[in-house]
Amino acid sequence: MMDRIPALPLIVNDPYFSIWMPGDTLTSADTAHWSGAVKPIQGYIIIDGKRYHWLGRASSPAMTTQSVKITPTQTISVLKAD
């Protein structure tokens, strides 16, 4: 059985300043504060002239999350562009 955490930590400074990804992947939902307040942040990259989004919800094609590793100080994601 694989465990799932309720949200991926993205930016965590203190309880008053933190941004989390509540979805299963980095592109499945808008980012939010731990209280549930939506704080949308979007990340984009251009590969071979094609624009993809890798963070948050957007209208451009989404990159696919291949893996996520969470340590006490980092959230490391591997993504793939189709």
Domain range annotation of the chain: 8-76
- Percentage of the chain surpassing pLDDT 90? 83
What is the reported pTM? 0.84
Q: What's the chain's average pLDDT? A: 93
- Distance, CA of 7 to CA of 49 (rounded, Å): 32
pLDDT of the residue at 19: 96
Is residue 1 pLDDT above 80, yes or no? no
What's the mean pLDDT in 32-55?
A: 96
pLDDT of the residue at 49: 96
What's the mean pLDDT in 19-40?
A: 94
- Distance, CA of 41 to CA of 61 (rounded, Å): 16
